[in-house]
Amino acid sequence: MGSSPSVSPDFATAFLARSGPAGTMTFAEFMELALFHPTLGYYQQDRARVGYAPGTDFYTASSSGPVFGEMISAACATLLGGEAIAREYTFVEIGAEPDGGVLNGVAHPFASARTVRLGEPLAISGRCVVFSNELFDAQPLRRFIRRGAAWRELGVTLRDGVLAEVELGEVSESWLPADAGEGYVFDAPRAAADLASRITAQPWHGLFVAFDYGKSLVELATATPAGTARAYFQHTQSNDLLARPGEQDLTGHVCWDWLADSLTRAGFTRTAVDSQEAFFIRHAGAFLAQAMAAEATRVSQRKLALLQLLHPSHLGQKFQVLHGWRQE
């Protein structure tokens, strides 16, 4: 188990207020505190987090400029059955950065477009395209470690102003792998599945599209022995999850099986998970052909953005897309 440098007095106070006199909480509770505390949380800070500018911590597909939104618009219109049908739907983006939005400045066929930002209520109804980009990977993870024939939940404690990882009591959850080896760490993105259930419980119908990075349940249970949780600070990935709480991003892979199950239980059909590359080629092929033809004879920022979004060695395979349809 690791430890990190002393935390700020403000974060220590917030930690103890949440943990109580014992000064210990689960990792999921710590991640919730570090990311979403009303004043100290990473996602509550009034600063740029995404992009290439100094002081940012990571970039996403939206950092490629408006071409990403244009591709999203084209693909969603195709999945709906064409632009004429798309005009009957509202495009709702959940979790966009402040002043952000994938369709900002992008001509689109939808009836309207709006964003639901951090802390705003989920109020979605009617005919919609519900879209998110790297929303689910930011939800708190439960962490477990295999000890002998049992699983123990991992937590965080505050001792003398220093955060440290600790092993909590034994747990029994039906979805924990039964045959993992000693010391295997299983990062369980249960909050992401719960969020998907809350989104799909809203009285809307239409298209669900979520871009993120994740793995199947089998992959999480067999191919990630150190877990998937990691931190990002100034474009550097780190395994020091307890460093700089409120100043660095914490993230982990989603479980596509759990998210897909949330959709299925809510009445969605035609549910599929594609790589980002495959999703765009299948559903925005006509747009891509036209865009690449227009850039064929030159090297431009637009062409470079297209290649970054599609190439398997860049974002094309790193990210996946879960999409499904709920009939009216």
Spell out the domains of the chain, with CATH numbers in brackets. Answer: 41-137+191-213+253-326 (3.40.50.12710)
Give the span between the Cα atoms of 162 and 284, in whole angstroms. Answer: 50
- pLDDT at residue 57, as a whole number: 47
Question: Mean of the pLDDT values across residues 270-277?
Answer: 95
Q: Residue 258: is its pLDDT beyond 70?
A: yes
Better-predicted residue by pLDDT, 160 or 33? 33
Phi and psi at 288, nearest 5°, equal: -65, -40
Give 213-248 pLDDT, tens digit per residue: 999 999 999 999 999 999 988 778 889 999 999 889
**Is-contact 139 36, C-beta < 8 A?**
no
Give the span between the Cα atoms of 40 and 10, in whole angstroms. Answer: 8
Q: Six-digit token pair at 19?
A: 């943990």
Give the span between the Cα atoms of 86 and 198, in whole angstroms. Answer: 24
In single-letter form, the type of residue at position 327 comes to Q
Give 64-88 pLDDT, tens digit per residue: 678 999 999 999 999 999 999 999 9
In single-letter form, the type of residue at position 118 comes to L
**Is-contact 199 122, C-beta < 8 A?**
yes
* Full-model pTM: 0.90
Residue 160, exposed/middle/buried by CB under 10 A (0-12, 13-18, 19+)? exposed
**Is-contact 221 177, C-beta < 8 A?**
yes
Rg (C-alpha) for the chain, rounded Å, is: 21
Q: Residue 62: is its pLDDT beyond 70?
A: no
